[in-house]
Amino acid sequence: MMSGFSRSSAVGLLAAASLLTTAACGSGSGSAETSTTASDGKPEVVAAFYPLQWLTEQVGGSDATVTGLTAPGVEPHDLELSIQQVTELKKAALTVYIKGIQPAVDDAVDPETSFDAATAVTTIPAGEHAEEEGGEEEHGHEELSYDPHLWLDPSRLATVATKLGERLATADPAHAQGFKDRAAKTAATLGALDQEITQGLTTCKSRTLVTAHEAFGYLADRYKLKQVGITLDPETEPSPTRLSEVAKLAKAEGVTTIFTESLVSPKVAEVLASQVGAKTAVLDPLESKPSGDYLSAMRDNLKTLQTALGCTA
Q: How far is the CB of 74 from Zn ion (least distance, A)?
A: 13
List residues bridging with 94 in a β-sheet. 45
Q: How far is the CB of 232 from Zn ion (least distance, A)?
A: 9
Report residue 30 CA to chain centroid gap.
Answer: 35
Q: How far is the CB of 289 from Zn ion (least distance, A)?
A: 15
Contact in structure between 306 and 256 (CB atoms under 8 Å): no
- How far apart (Å, rounded) are the C-alpha atoms in residues 270 and 120? 37
Among 59, 118, 215, 255, binds Zn ion (CB under 5 A): 215
Contacts of 106 (CB under 8 A, 6+ apart): 97, 99, 100, 140
Q: How far is the CB of 214 from Zn ion (least distance, A)?
A: 8
Q: Is 264 in the site for Zn ion (CB under 5 A)?
A: no
Cα distances (angstroms) measured from residue 192 to each of 184, 199, 203, 218, 281: 12, 11, 19, 17, 25
Which span sits near Zn ion by CB under 5 A: 18-26, 177-185, 210-218, 254-262? Answer: 210-218
Contact in structure between 161 and 186 (CB atoms under 8 Å): yes
Which span sits near Zn ion by CB under 5 A: 110-118, 123-131, 181-189, 211-219? Answer: 211-219
Q: Which is nearer to Zn ion, 47 or 171 (CB)?
A: 47
Contact in structure between 310 and 205 (CB atoms under 8 Å): yes
Which span sits near Zn ion by CB under 5 A: 83-91, 119-127, 214-222, 260-268? Answer: 214-222
Q: Which is nearer to Zn ion, 215 or 228 (CB)?
A: 215
Nearest-CB residue to Zn ion?
A: 215
Binding residues vs Zn ion (CB under 5 A):
215
